[in-house]
Amino acid sequence: MARAAPDTPPVRPTLGLLGGTFNPVHAGHLSIARAALRTFGLDAVWFIPCSNPPHKPAAGLASNADRLAMIRLAIADEPRFAALPIEFDRPGKSYTIDTVLALRALHPDKDFVFIVGADTLPEIHTWHRPLELLPLIRIVSLARPGHAPTPAELHLPPPWPATLLADLRPGQPLDVSSRDVRAGIAAGRPVPLVPKPVMRYIQEHNLYR
């Protein structure tokens, strides 16, 4: 009698986490999310708007409700994207390590990666408890060709520079920032790299004036 084949363990979905203030969300954010989804074989990308950014001034930050609404408008036609307001419910500074620990506890059946642009890699050593964070989650990054940081620029002990740079891939990030978008809106200039539903929301709610 043939022996029954062992049960195949279920495949764990891998989700990308894309954090930021999204003040406002723009085409650059969507571009890096799509590129990470494709390049790293992710099942989905969750946009996580920051409630109380540790490294940025809160002045000029649209409300949590407005930023969440704009993200949801921007990703409405992207079935593998979602907006997760997990940091809005937590007091104090919005630290990545706290979000990662919370998501691992809430979703033990999922694997997570954290998505950043390559220009963020040299800043990771300044994050809250970076040497505790790095073993908890794989950090993947995308860079313009020829713009990869060197291991020395990461200011982290081994093996982390090599580990982080091994998950760096070439991409074509759009040259746009939320700061430039806000300046354009305040000056009344066209801002073509903002999704049309988001731009309508900004105008209807008189944001960034």
Q: Which residues pair with 142 in a beta bridge?
A: 117, 169
Q: Which residues contact 187 (CB under 8 A, 6 or more apart)?
A: none
- Supply the DSSP string of 64-133, one letter for each residue: HHHHHHHHHHHTTT-TTEEE--GGGGS-S---HHHHHHHHHHH-TT-EEEEEEEGGGGGGGGGSSSHHHH
Q: Can you read off the two tokens belonging to residue 151?
A: 């291991």
5, pLDDT greater than 60? no
For residue 186, give the H/E element and its range. helix 178-187
Q: Can you read off the two tokens belonging to residue 98?
A: 């706290």
Give pLDDT tens digits for 74-109: 999 999 999 999 999 899 999 999 999 999 999 999
Q: At what angle do helices 64-74 and 196-204 cross, to 10 degrees?
A: 150
User: What is the distance, to the nearest Å, from the Cα of residue 7 to the centroid of all Cα atoms in its chain?
Assistant: 35
pTM (2 d.p.): 0.92
Greatest extent of the chain over all pairs of C-alpha atoms, in Å: 79
d(CA 119, CA 47): 19
127, pLDDT greater than 70? yes
For residue 2, name the pLDDT band (cuts at 50, 70, 90). low
Mean pLDDT for the stretch of residues 14-39: 97
For residue 10, name the pLDDT band (cuts at 50, 70, 90). confident
For residue 171, the model assigns a pLDDT of 86
For residue 165, give the H/E element and its range. helix 160-166
CATH numbers and ranges of domains, the chain: 14-176 (3.40.50.620)
List the helix and strand counts (H, then E) for the chain.
Answer: 7, 6
Higher pLDDT, 15 or 176: 15
**CA within 13 Å, CB half, 14:** 14
Question: In percent, how much of the chain has pLDDT > 70?
Answer: 94
For residue 7, the model assigns a pLDDT of 66
Give pLDDT tens digits for 132-175: 999 999 999 999 777 889 999 999 999 999 999 999 999 877 88
| Mean per-residue pLDDT over the chain, rounded | 93
